Structure 1
Amino acid sequence: MRLEQKYTALLGDVQRRAIGGGVPSAIGQLRLCFEALGLASAIDADCATRLGRHGLSEGKFVLLSLLRDVPEGLSPHALAERAGVTRGTITGLLDGLERDGFLARHADQVDRRKLLVRLSPKGEAAASTLVDEHAQWIASLFADFTPAEMQLLSALLEKAWRKTDRGAA
């Protein structure tokens, strides 16, 4: 796997220092980490490109997906909670989606002080095709893996994740 230039530079620096005996040799572990980061970066960039063709960011796409099967709509607070973003972030995402015609905010029929967010016809059309299309593309990245390989990769990623601050918490 070809490493990004920044990772190649870091790896080269560590290799030069290890030759002189100043740094213990962990080149294989570093390279593996940089490969994982490179794969994540490539997937993220490809996602951004694919969604960008439809005028969407990953955050906006997540909201379309969350609203897809909720015709009655959700409150901005509920959307923020389900998407794992702050209220400030949700406001910006909703403003952009509303401006681009993907959704509309409506007063709740029971309590008119509350807002509900619903997909517009354009948003429904986008969600109905893009969510499945995007899921199929992501699945295709691992289509050549056997079930045993997928299970092994998942276990190995979990093992490394547990060494991170988030995984250890």
Structure 2
Amino acid sequence: MLEAKHIALIEEATRRGHANLAQLRLCFQLLSVSAAIDRDCATRLAPHGLSEGRFIVLFLLHGAGGTLPPHELAERAGVSRATISGLLDGLQREGLLQRRSDAEDGRRLQIVLTARGKRLADDLFNQHTQWIGGLFDGLDGAEQVQLSRLLAKVWQHTDSGRSSQP
């Protein structure tokens, strides 16, 4: 289950006599699972001409009723305005969305899903959420709760987790 690079790091840590091999293995297992999920996600979205970023923009727009300004899309997606511009350009070229002037303020833009974009977002969201749910079919409810709690504990020891604590 470990990726080759992680096996090499564990072998080197073993050679150097590090005492925390079990923790290294756990971290590398988590990273390997995460990388596998990312690869599977990319494989599932590729036939639709979508990256994860483009998919996120589609489902954010769909969830907002089909219309949002670019700055709000960038904020909700957790990306920069420059990144959102590139994602929007690609989706517009594919005919999945349009840029329109805001009805109340013509200087502002609204991003609007096309009918094709709405259908794709709806279909893919359903497929994607079913696939994600299926990743955890091997865990019963109690195990899912336990995994969530354990991951939250690990998160608290990351730099990001420590900086988000009050």
Which range, TM-score by smaller chain?
over 0.9
How far is the alpha carbon of 1:70 from its aligned partner? Answer: 3.3
Cα 1:139/1:115, change in 2 over 3 Å: same
Provide the residue aligned with 2:79 in structure 1: 85
Provide the residue aligned with 2:117 in structure 1: 123
How far is the alpha carbon of 1:125 from its aligned partner? Answer: 1.0
Provide the residue aligned with 2:5 in structure 1: 6
**Counterpart secondary structure, 1:68:** helix
RMSD over equivalenced CA pairs, Å: 1.1
**Counterpart secondary structure, 1:97:** helix
Aligned length: 163
Provide the residue aligned with 1:52 in structure 2: 46
Is residue 28 from structure 1 mapped to residue 22 from structure 2 by the alignment? yes
**Counterpart secondary structure, 2:112:** strand
Is residue 62 from structure 1 mapped to residue 61 from structure 2 by the alignment? no
How far is the alpha carbon of 1:110 from its aligned partner? Answer: 1.8
Provide the residue aligned with 2:15 in structure 1: 16
Q: Give the TM-score normalised by the residue count of structure 2.
A: 0.94
1:142-167 Cα deviation digits (max 9, x unpaired): 01211110111111111111111001
Distance in 2 between the 1:95 and 1:115 partners? 13
- 1:119-158 aligned at under 5 Å gives the runs 119-158=113-152
How far is the alpha carbon of 1:71 from its aligned partner? Answer: 3.9
Q: Give the TM-score normalised by the residue count of structure 1.
A: 0.93
Structure 1: which 5+ runs fail to align? Answer: none
